Amino acid sequence: MDILKSKAWLRRTVWFVLAVLVLWALGWLALPPLLRSQGQKLASEALGRDVRIGRIEFVPWSLQLTVHDVAVATADGQGAQFTVTRVLADVGMASLLRLAPVLDALEVDQPVLRLAQLSPGHYDIDDILARLAPPGEPDPAPAGPPPRFALYNIAVRGGAVDFEDRTVGRTHTVRDLALSVPFLSSLPSKREIKVEPRLAFKLNDSAFDSSAEATPFLSSRKTQAHVRLVDFDLAPYLGYLPQSLPVRLQSGVLGVDLTLSFEQQTDAAVHVRGHVRAQGLRLSDSHQQPLLDVGSIAVQIADLQPLAQRGHIASVDIEEPRVLARRAQDGQINWQRLASSPSVAPQPAAKPAPKAPADAGWQLAVDRVALRSGQVDWHDDAVAGGARLALEALRVDASAIAVPLQKPLRFAGSAQLQGAALDFQGEAGQKLATVAASVRGLPLEAAAPYVAEQWNPRVSGRLDADLGLAWNGPAVIAHLARLSVDDIALACPAKVVCAGAGLAGVAMRNKDSLAEVKALRVENARLDLLHQSLNVERIAITQPRALVARSKDGQWMVQQWMATHRAPAPAVEPGATPARAAPWSVQLGTIDLDGGSLALQDALPVRPVAFNVSGLRIRLENLAPLAPPGSKPAQLQLAARVGAGRVDPGRLEYDGTLGLAPVSAQGKVLATQLPLHAFEPYVADALNVRVLRADGSFKGSVHYAEQPQGAVARVQGDASLDDLRVRSVLLTQGKDAVQDDGQPLRLTAQDNDLLRWKSLGLRGVDVALAPGQATRVEVRETALSDFFARMIVQENGRINLQDLVKAAPKQGSTAVAPQPQASAPVSTTVAAPAAVVRFGPVSLTGGAVRFSDYFIKPNYSADLSELTGRLSAFSSEPPAQGAVPAMADLELRGRAEGTASLEITGKLNPLAQPLALDIVGKMRDLELPPLSPYTVKYAGHGIERGKLSMDVAYKIEPNGQLTASNKLVLNQLTFGEPVEGAPASLPVRLATALLADRNGVIDLDLPISGSLNDPEFRLAPVIFKIIGNLIMKAVTSPFALLANALGGSSDLSAVAFAPGSAQLDEAARAGLDKVAKALTDRPALTMTVVGQAQLEREREGWKQAQLQGMLLAQKRRAARRDGQEPGDVAPVTPEEVPALLKEVYRRADIPKPRNLIGLAKDLPQSEMEALLLASIPVPENAMRELAVARGVAVRDYLAQHQVPKDRLFLGAVDTQPDDAKWTPRAQLTLAMP
């Protein structure tokens, strides 16, 4: 004790130690309860919540304070809002030395926070935050050095956070929260010591770990941190994304391993390095429809400087991306909706802010981008049935990417589309890009839904292509190096009816195919959008095959294939005039088509048209379809075989040029045996014939060009029409038609032929047409061989050749009033000059004509055969004024009915206007029995035998005057008995007997004349009228007919006599001589002589005749006295009359004038004659005897001239003729025995 008293320092030391011990004791014993109670009280008052502290430990000698089991209650007091198991604070003694807080350790164990968001922006700790918020705006802290402190060994362990977000219905957890800061000090001596904090936790089972090195209190603020986040699932946080976003994240796992560097020099610099990886990313649109799925994205960051807006990405690796593009029924694509969807609600317009300095923007460099196993799915619901396409196995590699693009980036890739391989590579810059791509084995079926939208058939095939695209500013050039499409087929899908399916004519590889192409090749095609040009070096089409059909309603099958649900074309506003675009330049180098086949069936005409084209080969060079007028035409070579039916197909070839603007063609044509009959139905509406066969051929040149004034055309070469067969559709006959043998008439296919020939050759054809000029047709030589023509008089009396062309339909009886029209300029069109036609020599060989008459019953038929002839050159050119028309020499020979020879010669010009001809025709020995139908119809008798020969001559002058002679010679013409029920009955047998000579020959000459300009003049009716009159004349005036036949003009039917006389005078004898000759030459005739006399007219004549008889008797008496025979006495001559009359008067016992002595006075001759005549009485039978004498005189005279008496008959005399003009005669009548 004395030591303590004697040494004050020791005493003070002891007291200090004791005080410290006391303080330690007080702090160890009394401070924890005090801190606990006051801490709970003050914290509860500050937070407004019940705060509980389990216990507090304080170690005064080490200045360690430990707080256990701290809990902050929830607002309702039912639970804990925040709990901490232990909090340790170890204050270092250095605090006393450095006059600044120095903590040697700060530890927090198992802090647990429970937090809930009740509504957007409102939490269950809002009341605490409101209490802790300082009132009003805090004053800014004055600038100065940072507060002094030093912290060591800061650690938080076992922390946890439960965050309940009732707005999205999710609870987020943080577990294993660990924070360690080994050292942190702002003391000047410690500022250069690096701070190395570490933070780690599990957020919703995703591990987060970070560490750093920093000097936060140095001026450089140099910091380097490492952040690592493993398998961070983004799904729990999706609810926090704004609902207005057009794209929504559905899932994803994020992995981060980054190193962040910060340093404050002149400017702050932040560097980020490391890699970021996202897996299982799924993006959808606002309707929860998927947009993008990514297996993984890995980004290797070489250096990212966000403050400097610069970045260097070493690589971007994208694995298994899948893009889903969908087009809805309204036509909108889901990705298009993203661009049009507003992401942020519109805000009121704010006042314009002052312009900020232009931001240079980010500068980003990416060394490499790689995409692997990508896929693009295309779903199109806007097409019927929907479309599904998938671009699979997508691989893309890109390098040297810079933003902005200072230099072109390079890229390459590949993919598979519907089993096809796609490859591409290229470079792209800010203003230019080049791409080279190739496709192999792309099925055309991929486009089937879109093709089905336009038409029903489906398309198949395989496409290969190599193409390139170059872009440089406004210039875009596409280059197709090669395009190949193989096995193209257009087929009718199942359960769909396609027009044209199943047509015959082309052998398809698939029975359902409508069209096929073996291969399509396109080489070196270049498209320039800037200059609007397209150039194609070559197009090759191999073995195209197609079936083409048109229905009865005029629709081609392609029109019927069109889908009915196609969207209508956009309407054009009335009056809107589309802008005229600049013309495109299209140049096609070579187009080759080889091995083509085509079958066509057209049901629109009256009869279906069917033909096929095979072996089609086309080569077209330098075609410019959009070239301006005047451009060089393309070169065209064409070859094909055209067939119809079962005959061998013909061939068609063309080698020349083809122009499109305007349309023109010039080249050589070779056509051989083309089946022209296949196209006859197109003109069937205008014809009454059917062309069953017609093979056309042509070899020569053609020229055609459209001009503003009209088309110019010229055709030169040799043409032929072979194997022609034309049948009339009106060839019919009545049910009662019979043949000559009485059997029913049946027509065979051969009988129905109207016209046919083996060959018609036209050599040297030259046809020229030009606007305003006369059409010119020239044929150097024409040859027709083995031809046949059918001429028929139909039941209605018309000749079939009159009905070859159908009559125009009659106009309706109701007239339609013309509608008023706006005034139009008067047409100044001048009628084109008449065509000029020139034909060279025409030759005919092996011809035949069959004539049938169905108008008469029974029917009649005749044949002309072996027709051979020629016609020299002729022309339609009119002759010069006053000149004679030029006519061609005609020669035609043949046979009629196989026996009669036929010959026609002369001159004619069938094209002359008016018609001019001078021809002579001869026919010999035509058998007449086949003509019986005509004689039965018109005469009532059939012909049993006979032959006809005739010579005809026709001459037509240019003025239309016809002069014709028809000389007919009928040999042994014999008519049969009258036909019962015949329409007419004429005495043709009598006419034949009258006209025929002793050899049975009838020689007739029928001259005809008239004017063809007379509309009433018809040649055939005139001829038939003459023949009819001839027959009727046989009945009414047979002797006049004989007189004409014998070359006389007098009527031989009566023999004239002097009144009262029965003596034949010279004239009578001359007439009887002719009658005798006619009867001698016509042994079939008999004659009856009827003597006629009339007292009133012949009384004086009869007396005169009696006086003449007295004179003759006196002369005979005198002759007898002289010893002569009375029969030898000649008739009395005028010189002998006075003497004989005086003697007769002397001998007559009549009253006579006498002289005084009673003797008869000598009287003058006249008085004696008068007295004698007055004394002659006329008995009652004088006239009868006179008539009989006259008949006998005629009969005897004819008998004396070799006419057999058994053919001569005396008829009953006629003494009372009632004809006022009657003269004394004997009437002759002819008859058949």
Whole-number Å distance between alpha carbons of 606 and 551: 12
Q: How confident is the model at residue 699 (pLDDT cuts 50, 70, 90)?
A: very high
pLDDT at 481 over 90: yes
Residue 1197: CB atoms within 10 A of its CB come to 19
pLDDT at 800 over 80: no
> What per-residue confidence (pLDDT) applies to 727?
85
Read off the pLDDT of each residue in 1009-1020 and give the average, rounded to a whole number: 58
pLDDT at 1046 over 60: no
Range with top average pLDDT, 341-350, 361-370, 854-863, 1022-1031: 361-370
Q: Is residue 570 one of the residues assigned to a domain?
A: no
Q: Is residue 138 one of the residues assigned to a domain?
A: no
Quickly list DSSP for 381-420: -SSTT-EEEEEEEEEEEEEEEEES-SS-EEEEEEEEETTE
> What per-residue confidence (pLDDT) applies to 318?
93
Do 915 and 979 lie in a common domain? yes
140-149, 482-491, 613-622: which has the minimum mean pLDDT? 140-149
Q: How confident is the model at residue 733 (pLDDT cuts 50, 70, 90)?
A: very low
Do 1130 and 1162 lie in a common domain? yes
Q: Is 235 exposed, middle or buried (0-12, 13-18, 19+ CB in 10 A)?
A: middle
What is the percent of the chain with per-residue pLDDT over 90, rounded to a whole number? 19
**H or E segment and range at residue 196:** none
Q: How confident is the model at residue 480 (pLDDT cuts 50, 70, 90)?
A: very high
Do 1004 and 942 lie in a common domain? yes
> What would the two tokens of residue 767 be?
């046809």
> What per-residue confidence (pLDDT) applies to 769?
93
Do 900 and 1019 lie in a common domain? yes
Q: What is the pLDDT of residues 74-89, one digit of tens each?
A: 888 888 888 999 988 8
Closest CA to 1073 of 1062, 1065, 1063, 1061: 1065
Q: What is the pLDDT of residues 829-848, one digit of tens each?
A: 455 678 889 999 999 999 88
Asked whether the beta carbons of 1052 and 1043 are under 8 A apart, the reply is yes
> What per-residue confidence (pLDDT) applies to 1045?
56
Q: Is residue 858 one of the residues assigned to a domain?
A: no
Asked whether the beta carbons of 778 and 765 are under 8 A apart, the reply is yes
Quickly list DSSP for 730-760: T----TT-B-TTSPBP---HHHHEEEEEEEE
Q: Say which residue the tokens 């933070």 belong to.
A: 199
Containing domain of residue 315, as a range?
Answer: 242-254+266-338+363-432
Asked whether the beta carbons of 226 and 196 are under 8 A apart, the reply is no
More reliable by pLDDT, 102 or 850: 850
Estimate to the nearest angstrom the gap between the alpha carbon of 870 and the chain centroid: 45
Secondary structure (3-state) at 219? coil
Q: Of 397, 415, 432, which residue sits at a domain end?
A: 432
Do 1094 and 966 lie in a common domain? no
Estimate to the nearest angstrom the gap between the alpha carbon of 1061 and the chain centroid: 100
Average pLDDT, the chain: 80
Q: How confident is the model at residue 573 (pLDDT cuts 50, 70, 90)?
A: low
> What would the two tokens of residue 911 be?
């094209």
Estimate to the nearest angstrom the gap between the alpha carbon of 885 and the chain centroid: 49
Q: What is the pLDDT of residues 840-869, one digit of tens each?
A: 999 999 988 887 777 766 676 778 888 899
Do 28 and 123 lie in a common domain? yes
Do 1112 and 1223 lie in a common domain? yes
More reliable by pLDDT, 136 or 727: 727
Q: Is residue 237 one of the residues assigned to a domain?
A: no
Whole-number Å distance between alpha carbons of 110 and 90: 18
Q: How confident is the model at residue 741 (pLDDT cuts 50, 70, 90)?
A: very low
Closest CA to 385 of 322, 333, 458, 291: 458
Read off the pLDDT of each residue in 99-115 and give the average, rounded to a whole number: 83
Read off the pLDDT of each residue in 1042-1065 and give the average, rounded to a whole number: 74
- Residue type at position 695: D
Do 895 and 967 lie in a common domain? yes
Whole-number Å distance between alpha carbons of 192 and 195: 9
> What per-residue confidence (pLDDT) applies to 779?
94
Asked whether the beta carbons of 898 and 865 are under 8 A apart, the reply is yes
Q: What is the pLDDT of residues 887-918, one digit of tens each?
A: 889 898 988 887 888 888 988 888 877 777 88
Within 13 Å of residue 974, how many CA atoms lie on the same side as its CB? 8
Whole-number Å distance between alpha carbons of 947 and 1120: 62
Do 404 and 320 lie in a common domain? yes
User: What is the maximum span of the chain, computed from C-alpha positions, in angstroms?
Assistant: 278
Read off the pLDDT of each residue in 945-974 and give the average, rounded to a whole number: 81
Question: CA-based Rg of the chain, rounded to a whole angstrom?
Answer: 68
Asked whether the beta carbons of 727 and 692 are under 8 A apart, the reply is yes
Quickly list DSSP for 546-558: EEEEE-TTS-BHH
pLDDT at 524 over 90: yes
> What per-residue confidence (pLDDT) applies to 122?
87
- Residue type at position 178: A
Q: What is the pLDDT of residues 744-765, one digit of tens each?
A: 333 444 456 788 899 999 999 9
Q: Is residue 393 one of the residues assigned to a domain?
A: yes
Backbone angles phi, psi at 579, to 5 degrees: -65, 140
> What per-residue confidence (pLDDT) applies to 449?
83
Preceding peptide of 914 cis, ω within 30°: yes
> What would the two tokens of residue 309 be?
């807006």
pLDDT at 617 over 90: yes
Q: How confident is the model at residue 296 (pLDDT cuts 50, 70, 90)?
A: very high
Q: How confident is the model at residue 738 (pLDDT cuts 50, 70, 90)?
A: very low
This prediction's pTM: 0.69
Do 163 and 84 lie in a common domain? yes
pLDDT at 447 over 60: yes
Do 212 and 247 lie in a common domain? no
Q: Tell me whether strands 198-203 and 206-214 are parallel, antiparallel or unpaired.
A: antiparallel
Whole-number Å distance between alpha carbons of 779 and 840: 6
Q: Is residue 824 one of the residues assigned to a domain?
A: no
* 249 CB-near residues (< 8 Å, 6+ apart): 234, 238, 241, 281, 282, 283
> What per-residue confidence (pLDDT) applies to 539?
95
pLDDT at 146 over 80: no
Whole-number Å distance between alpha carbons of 713 and 987: 65
Q: Is residue 818 one of the residues assigned to a domain?
A: no
Whole-number Å distance between alpha carbons of 200 and 159: 10
462-476, 971-985, 1192-1206: which has the minimum mean pLDDT? 971-985
Preceding peptide of 197 cis, ω within 30°: no
> What per-residue confidence (pLDDT) applies to 826?
44
* 113 CB-near residues (< 8 Å, 6+ apart): 81, 82, 160, 161, 162
pLDDT at 1067 over 80: yes
Closest CA to 1112 of 1073, 1081, 1141: 1141
Do 386 and 328 lie in a common domain? yes
150-159, 374-383, 417-426, 597-606: which has the minimum mean pLDDT? 150-159
Q: Is residue 983 one of the residues assigned to a domain?
A: yes
**H or E segment and range at residue 713:** strand 710-728
**Count of domains observed in the chain:** 4
pLDDT at 365 over 70: yes
pLDDT at 331 over 60: yes
